[in-house]
A and B are shown apart, each in its own frame.
Chain A
Amino acid sequence: MRRFKEVAIEKTLMASAMVTILVTIGIILVLSVEAFNFFSVVPIWDFLTDTQWTPLFTEKHFGILPLLSGTLLTSFIAIAFAVPVGLSISIYISEYAPKSFRKTIKPALELLAAVPTVVYGFFALTVVTPFLQTFIPGLSGFNSLSAGLVMGIMIIPFISSLSEDALHAVPNSLREGSYGMGATRLQNVFRVLIPAASSGIIVSIILAISRAIGETMIVAIAAGQQPRLTLDPTVPVETITAYIVQVSLGDVGHGTLEYQTIFAAGITLFLFTFILNTMSYRLRKKFAEKYE
């Protein structure tokens, strides 16, 4: 009787764990089915190559490139800001700062990641954009520069915390060898530590990119709702995520092409983040083995 109970409990627990697989299958199924419906109307070639995204208007164009460029432009700005800053912070904490700093600074920085993104969006729209407009006169009210910079602030802890962990994990013997040869901390960092911790650092950057690409509220509020294929950070653009929100704010009639467009956009987003996440998982496994 007791044995039966034990087996039953184990099966229940296993079922709970299998729910996670169900979720993934659910996501893939939902996205694929609706995307399939979309692609039975819109040729995949058009989707990948058309330079306009106007699925709802008279002159219908279904090119994902404008939305993709909006996503990549804002993410690029975010990463271009966050990587140098975040890496420098991680180097400083790991190699320069007094040991006690680590305990206080890391949680303080992690606060940056805890702030709800709608708050960051508010900040980007009402503080950062007007501020930037004072010395970039052509800057439009909605633009990818403010949104990108604020996104960058949000992802600093992703890079700084994980890179710092990676640097911290490098065995001291490597440091001592380098100092023994007369290197300064800086030389040590750039010639020895960063190469040694490179996979951990790269993992942190990949994770940050994935986070930036998937970000919704900051760009929905501050970057604009005009799909346009451009590299100009001063004009309104639209990201994949902001498009999904825009359509959801209206009425998404089940089965309409409009409904299906958000899944076509969604599956594109999912593919990108899935590839990035898988890459980072593999690298992390490799990196964990390094110091066994």
Chain B
Amino acid sequence: MKKIFLTGAMAFMVFACGNNKKETGNNAISIDGSSTVYPATEAVAEEFRSEDPDVNVTIGVSGTGGGFKKFGRGEVDIANASRPIKQEEIDLAEANNITYVGLEVGNDGLAVVVHPENDWVTCFTVEELKKIWEPAAQGTIKRWNQINPAWPDEEILLFGPGVASGTFDYFTEAIVGKSGSSRGDFTASEDDNVLVQGISGSKYGLAFFGLAYFEENSDKLKLVGVDGGAGCVLPSLETVNNSTYTPLSRPLLIYVNSSSLKNQKVIDFVNFYLNEAPSVLGEVGYFPLTSEEYEVERKKFQEFVNTYKTE
């Protein structure tokens, strides 16, 4: 009896090892990337599924960088990104014969956040933020009063996205001047929820992440304005769309693999995204583009489909 069991198990294992191609039937859409864009894509995926329940959409949260790596290797259909694709990522895709299109789906204001009991900061200048976050600050800038002597003599507990995060890339480029250039001694997580958790428990904390995560948890957090040279500005639909919230306004993007176009569901999903974005984005805390801008993106995608879709 046991022998049958043993042989059965072994046969099963051999069989299973043989079928190692990923589930790429017409009912699967695989997405990975930015944790900032994640809430928006997740919302769209849910709405999409309520119209087409047979579709299996999986969404990973590896960070923009992680998502692009998978995308460049052809492992996912769509990459969520909170910054445009970088040269080395373009090269990777090219090396794997992957053509793609990048589509803007919305706007985000990167939120700079402190604890609600923080009563000494309402606004940071870009210089102040740079002083806190640049690589030279590692091990040296540790306390609030090192930035402004009027602030408390307490350790700044820093929380921010990790290196695979597009938010991280964007913030460092905008504030420090070079993408990826940052101190390393802070609580880093690609999962923005962890950052919210961290800062909501730390009176002397400071964090930055996508505005959606602030909106969701505004009762536990305090939003701080950013002075980009023209005075203190808080992120809002207006200030982000007309770029007065500077330099931390940025586009939210999705990238689509041309070989995924043979799956009609992928095409439907992307079109659905561009149509539903205005209503869904506000719900999760981001800002939609204007209807003209969406029309542009829709056309862009349509052209892409016409060029690359093979029957």
Contact = CB atoms under 8 A, between A and B. Distances in A.
**Whether chain A touches chain B in the assembled complex (some CB pair under 8 Å):** yes
B200 A141 contact: yes
A251 B184 contact: no
B250 to A, nearest CB: 20
A142 B197 CA distance: 9
Interface stretch (A26-34, A55-63, A105-113, A274-282): A55-63
A251 B32 contact: yes
B251 interface: no
Interface stretch (B42-50, B62-70, B240-248, B285-293): B62-70
A12 B188 CA distance: 49
A164 to B, nearest CB: 37
Interface stretch (A40-48, A69-77, A223-231): A223-231
Interface string B79-100: 0000000000000000000000
A246 B183 CA distance: 18
Contact of A250 (B139, B157, B187, B190): B190
Interface of A: 12, 52-54, 56-61, 125, 129, 133, 140-142, 224-228, 235-236, 246, 249-251, 253
Nearest to B63: A250
A57 B163 contact: yes
A253 B63 CA distance: 13
Nearest to A248: B62
Given A235-B157, A246-B189, A57 B184 contact: yes
Contacts of A251: 32, 62-63, 65-67, 69-70, 164
B157 A59 contact: no
A142 B198 contact: yes
15 contacts: A52-B184, A52-B185, A56-B163, A56-B188, A57-B163, A61-B184, A141-B197, A141-B199, A141-B202, A142-B197, A236-B187, A249-B62, A249-B191, A250-B65, A251-B66
B185 A228 contact: yes
Given A52-B139, A249-B190, A57 B67 contact: no
B180 interface: yes
B194 interface: yes
B190 A59 contact: no
Interface of B: 6, 32, 61-63, 65-67, 69-70, 135, 138-139, 155, 157-158, 162-164, 180-191, 194, 197-202, 205
B202 A140 contact: yes
B69 A225 contact: no
Nearest to B115: A141
B187 A225 contact: yes
B205 to A, nearest CB: 8
Contact of B180 (A58, A225, A253): A58
A228 B184 CA distance: 10
Interface centre among A56, A125, A225, A251 (most CB of B within 10 A): A251
Contacts of B157: 140, 235-236
A122 to B, nearest CB: 12
A225 B194 contact: yes
Given A54-B138, A236-B157, A129 B201 contact: yes
Contacts of B138: 52, 54, 57, 59
B66 A58 contact: no
Nearest to B157: A140
Contacts of B62: 249-251
Contacts of B164: 250-251
Nearest to B75: A251
A53 B187 CA distance: 12
Contacts of A249: 61-62, 190-191
CB-based closest 9 A-B pairs:
A141-B201, A54-B184, A251-B66, A57-B184, A251-B62, A226-B187, A58-B135, A56-B163, A250-B164
A109 to B, nearest CB: 31
Contacts of B155: 235
